[in-house]
Amino acid sequence: MKGILLAGGSGTRLLPLTQTLSKQLLPVYNKPLIYYPLSTLMLAGIREILIISTPRDLPMIERLLGDGSQIGLSLHYAVQEKPNGIAEAFTIGADFLQGEPVCLVLGDNIFHSHELPHLLARATNRKEGASVLACRVSNPSAYGVVELDATGKPIRLVEKPAKPASNWAVTGLYFYDGQVHDIARSLRPSQRGELEITDINQIYLERGQLNIEFMGRGAAWFDAGTFDSLLGASQYVHMLEVRQGLMIGLPEEIAWRMNYISTDDVRATAKAMRNNPLGNYLLGLLDEPRAHA
């Protein structure tokens, strides 16, 4: 399975912060926002990833992440000229994907849960259909909501419903089999002029091939595209890291624990960040076993 990290959009909800800087490069406590969705793809075992962003922002992101070899990845880059919708990612990335199954994550989405690797493994190992992550929220009217039958199977998707049928919001993490490429090519722009990811999910639902992976009690999901959510995400990461002494969303640590890079690679990266808390943290890891913490 290949991955797409969609880091586009104009970031207007975060002006003036995004006047000269990509939203995905804004800090969430001690790391750039883009580290967190990238880490989610890594935890899913995905190593070949296409990053899509705007003509202005893509060079900045590429300067940060490079070709990915330093963390055991193969990173590719493509431009989305205008914000024409999430589903356009599949047509932009057609040459990269070559008809293969794909996981798409939005560049401002942050996921954290002890069970997250297990949810990701179930979704990536599913050979047919689509899988989306759903998270219980207190304000479902602000999100796309999945309506469930008595057995927990999805029966309807509703975008920002006035009277939500459930508290389960569809997050910005999507897994698709090879059907998605033909489906994406068949889409027509919505009333707001975009190619909607909801339309793709609806087609899978109508075919009886949409699976829901539920993030359980205590899981955290942030759509960090507003001032409040960006601050909330930073406070959450800060609280956990200070209390536990373990970092969230650090690609170098994930790459090391998953044997993508060697201990010597980690040591070299840490030394390049000497007198920096992240560098000191990486050095401290080398006294631990590589098993997931």
Residues 123-157 pLDDT 10s: 999 999 999 999 999 999 988 899 888 888 899 89
Q: List Cα–Cα distances, 14 to 33, 37, 108, 149, in angstroms.
A: 13, 19, 12, 37
* Per-residue pLDDT at 165: 87
* Per-residue pLDDT at 289: 73
* Region for residue 268 given its phi and psi (left: phi exceeds 0; alpha: psi -120 to 50; beta: otherwise): alpha
List the alpha helices (DSSP H) in the chain. 35-43, 58-65, 88-92, 94-97, 116-125, 180-186, 197-206, 227-244, 251-257, 263-272, 277-285
Closest CA to 171 of 150, 199, 146, 149: 146
Buried b (16+ CB within 10 A) or exposed e, 2-17: bbbbbbbbebeebeee
How far apart CA 5 and CA 49 sit, in angstroms, is: 7
Q: Which amino acid is at 272?
A: A
How far apart CA 253 and CA 162 sit, in angstroms, is: 42
What secondary structure letter does DSSP report for 180?
H
The ranges of the chain with pLDDT < 50 are 293
Hey, how many other C-beta atoms are within 10 angstroms of the C-beta on 29?
17
Closest CA to 234 of 249, 244, 245: 249
**pTM of the prediction?**
0.95
Residue 216 CB contacts under 8 Å (≥ 6 apart), including other chains = 113, 115
Q: List Cα–Cα distances, 223 to 172, 192, 199, 231, in angstroms.
A: 8, 21, 20, 11
Instruction: Return the residue matching tokens 């219980």.
Output: 136
* Per-residue pLDDT at 159: 83
* Per-residue pLDDT at 41: 98
How far apart CA 103 and CA 123 sit, in angstroms, is: 9
Q: How many residues does the chain have?
A: 293
